[in-house]
Structure 1
Amino acid sequence: MPTTRRQTAIAEGKIVPDEHDEHQEHHEKKPRRHSTAAHKGHPHKTKAEHENGHPMDEDVKPPDVKAEDHVAGDKREHTKEENKQEEPPAKVQKVEVGAEGIYKPGTIERGHIYFFYRPRVEHEEAQSIEDVQHFHMLLIPRPPDFLVSDSPVETSEKKEDDVKAEDAENMKVLAPGADAVPAPEPTKFKKKFYRLITVGKKRLPDPDSPGTGGSKRKEMFWATVTAVGDDLSQLAEGLGEKTYETKTRGTRHIAPSRLAARGGYALVNGKTRTRSDRETHFGYHVSHPKPEDMGDVQEELGIYPASSFVLQVRNPLAPPQGPIQLHSTPADYPEWIMRGVFGASDGGEKHAKGREDFGLRFASCETPELLNYKNAQILLIAAREGEEGLEKSLGEGRGVALSEVEQKEGHESIRQVFEELKLDISKFPAEPLEGSWA
């Protein structure tokens, strides 16, 4: 709109505008943004055209704040990708965080232990250890007794859960050694987590016997985790009698396994100042048979009323040290165990422990998860026998507490013991629980 008489005259065509007038008009007009389309001959582009998907002017940029958000977003995405590449997997992170803490002093597991032996092929029964084909330890982990509710439903649903750091204050008001006492073994459930461990020498190492060649070192035997599961019917089938065919000898028969002893056990990491001194103690106390009922079976199998061992686990990447290891299938541990426990190298990274790329040849059982993998190879090193020896190995009243509860459980019937595993007592001879070979 003309605002002066000169501009009015120019508008009416009475005078011709000069350059000064055009320059002044340009500055007085309010600046507007224009699309490149208007400059290219589309001055009348409508709102409907924009809404129908025609591109807006390329010169029309969004406000600066949006541009900054876009750049910042790119940076965040870039940083996120970098972090994603550098950040280790969850379990590895767990090990890295716990490089010093994955080994935690104290009870890392407790439960019930069952000792089985199986007669040799075509032997309906065994009369001595010479007639034994296999010797097994069955471990069934349990939560500590003080954490289990009296409700049978809650008891069945509770899983193995070691005492956490926040429970430390609660532990102070509990009886000494309470963390090593397993909750009672229920008899109504058909599903229980278990591990079956086969001892190579067909007996336990004797704490009172010297090592090989009369050395001062204690006896040590290899053992292998041969089965891990939670279905007791499958366990019963595996321990039961078997029949198979051979090309040379025809039909072969294997008698069912025999239950030789039952009791409670605890895995305890000792308190140490250095990594090299770390030890995992595996102690047990027998409830069945009672000490006065133990006989030749328990004696020859090396089963004491109470005993303990130092437990070590072999690195599956370590070179084999004998024909058995050479031809055996190694355990398939996840990376967080290989790195966090054995210190194996990860690709081009330097190994964390030991002198070799595979890390340590052996490690203490820093976490019970090491025993949750089939073919895991463990070393049982004899430590101490008897209740005093058990207490010395487990420490802080744990041996005493475990002994007391297993002595009480010793009053349970043999039939109830079989019911804990859902084993048919008519199919599995019970005489060994009374000290006699069968």
Structure 2
Amino acid sequence: MGQGKEVKTRPDPKVEIQEKGEIFFFYRPKVDREEAHSPDDVQRMYIVLRPESGERAVEEKQAPDSGKEGRKHGKAEEGHQGGHGEEEVNIEEQPLLRLVVMGKKSLPEPGKRGRPYWGYVELVTTNLDDIKDALEEEEYSTATRGQRRRPAARALGEGVYRILKHESGRRAATHTHLVYKLELPLRGPGEPQDALNVEPEASFLVQVKNPDPPSSGSGGGGFRGLQNKRRAAFPARLQGAFGSRRYAPADPPDLLNYEGCELLLIAASDDVEEELGLELEGEVELGEEDVEEEQAAARCSDLVKMFGDVADVKPLLSGTWD
């Protein structure tokens, strides 16, 4: 459906858009479960970000021979699990995909301030098949339980997103937001969307964790996070964005282009326009007749086109569990 567009509804020079693109939400039922009917049946929740334009057309990402992208092709050095090295990708000409895992298997409630939700970038790639492989069904053997099956992911939501810088408060402290607006499900959030806090639109503060934090003080916010070898290894330019801080804004968004990048999502608002003076609009507006037809929605859906052969799209199109 594309990256959509945004409309400023009031003058606000303190909002600066850094990245625009498509956002897709998925969940995976627990191992050996045929279906999921509640959050208790969910093993993982994923967010896929596909940047399509931004403040700069060229973004920096991990080197293709590092992280999962490299290991898939047998190129990464043993023991290096976080993304490292660097290459440039023109996101307006070449696909770039990030697979984010949410630790709590849901999003924070966007309209309710509370504890940050931790997540991490599991996979960064320019190859769509790498993401499809990560979402598809898998059978594997264990020493104690024999053959087991990891069910395929289910599509939960599709929409447009923005990563933006925002200045607020007397001290004009700059922070970054991840804001999105759903285009599917058509009828608004259904049972799985409500249960996993995927609202029709939302704004979250997003902070990136320093993979090499200062040793003094606790200051970790209670998130133990990934093991050292799984953390991202940022190039010096990006590592310098942290200074002596344990967390920093996602500025630039290139920080999210390294596997093992740990992040916090902090609920900000469920009304993007009221909070930021910015209204997001999707690419496709379906008429009333089309609303009654799931096939019409599927024809317009980039998620269905890209991932429909590996991920069940029923929750996306109907707003119901499996």
Alignment of 1:281-296 (within 5 A): 281-290=177-186, 292-296=187-191
1:431–1:424 Cα change, 3 Å: closer
Query: What is the DSSP-based 3-state SS (H/G/I as helix, E as strand, rest coil) of the residue aligned with 1:192?
Result: coil
Whichever structure has more helix as a proportion of its residues is 1
Equivalent of residue 256 in structure 2, options 364, 371, 374: 371
- What RMSD in Å do the two structures reach over aligned CA positions? 2.9
Structure 1, 327-336 or 238-247: larger mean CA deviation: 327-336
Deviation, structure 1 residue 107: 0.4
Matched AA of 2:110: P
Deviation, structure 1 residue 392: 3.6
Is 1:408 matched with 2:275?
A: no
Deviation, structure 1 residue 294: 2.2
CA distance in structure 2 between the aligned counterparts of 1:221 and 1:160, rounded to whole angstroms? 30
- Matched-pair contact (CA < 8 Å) for 1:124–1:254: no
Is 1:308 matched with 2:203?
A: yes
TM-score, structure 2 normalization: 0.74
Query: Which residue in 1 is equivalent to 2:72?
Result: none
Is 1:239 matched with 2:135?
A: yes
**Number of matched residues?**
264
CA distance in structure 2 between the aligned counterparts of 1:315 and 1:306, rounded to whole angstroms? 28
Query: Which residue in 1 is equivalent to 2:165?
Result: 269
Query: Which residue in 2 is equivalent to 1:327?
Result: 227
Considering only CA atoms, is the larger Rg found in Structure 1 or Structure 2?
Answer: 1
Is 1:362 matched with 2:253?
A: no
Query: Which residue in 1 is equivalent to 2:122?
Result: 226
Query: Which residue in 2 is equivalent to 1:84?
Result: none
Matched AA of 2:269: R
CA distance in structure 2 between the aligned counterparts of 1:323 and 1:281, rounded to whole angstroms? 20
Higher RCO structure (Cα 8 Å, ≥6 apart)? 2
Identity %: 33
1:274–1:161 Cα change, 3 Å: farther
**Runs of 4 or more consecutive aligned structure 1 residues displaced over 3 Å after TM superposition:** 159-162, 271-276, 319-324, 392-395, 409-412, 418-421
Q: Can you list the C-alpha shifts for 1:158-205, whole angstroms capped at 9, x where unaligned? A: x9459xxxxxxxxxxxxxxxxxxxxxx99xx9x621101111111100
Q: Which runs of 5+ in 1 are unaligned?
A: 1-103, 148-158, 163-184, 212-218, 344-358
1:109–1:274 Cα change, 3 Å: farther
Query: Which residue in 2 is equivalent to 1:122?
Result: 32
Is 1:390 matched with 2:293?
A: no
TM-score, structure 1 normalization: 0.55
CA distance in structure 2 between the aligned counterparts of 1:294 and 1:139, rounded to whole angstroms? 20
Whichever structure has more strand as a proportion of its residues is 2
Query: Which residue in 2 is equivalent to 1:435?
Result: 319
Matched AA of 1:295: G
Query: Which residue in 2 is equivalent to 1:112?
Result: 22
CA distance in structure 1 between the aligned counterparts of 2:57 and 2:276, rounded to whole angstroms? 19
Is 1:423 matched with 2:319?
A: no
Deviation, structure 1 residue 143: 2.1
Equivalent of residue 138 in structure 1, options 48, 51, 61: 48
Matched AA of 2:122: T
Q: Which runs of 5+ in 2 are unaligned?
A: 1-13, 60-90, 291-295
Alignment of 1:168-247 (within 5 A): 192-211=95-114, 219-247=115-143
Query: What is the DSSP-based 3-state SS (H/G/I as helix, E as strand, rest coil) of the residue aligned with 1:422?
Result: helix
Deviation, structure 1 residue 273: 8.6
Query: What is the DSSP-based 3-state SS (H/G/I as helix, E as strand, rest coil) of the residue aligned with 2:301?
Result: helix
Deviation, structure 1 residue 332: 0.3
- Matched-pair contact (CA < 8 Å) for 2:175–2:205: yes
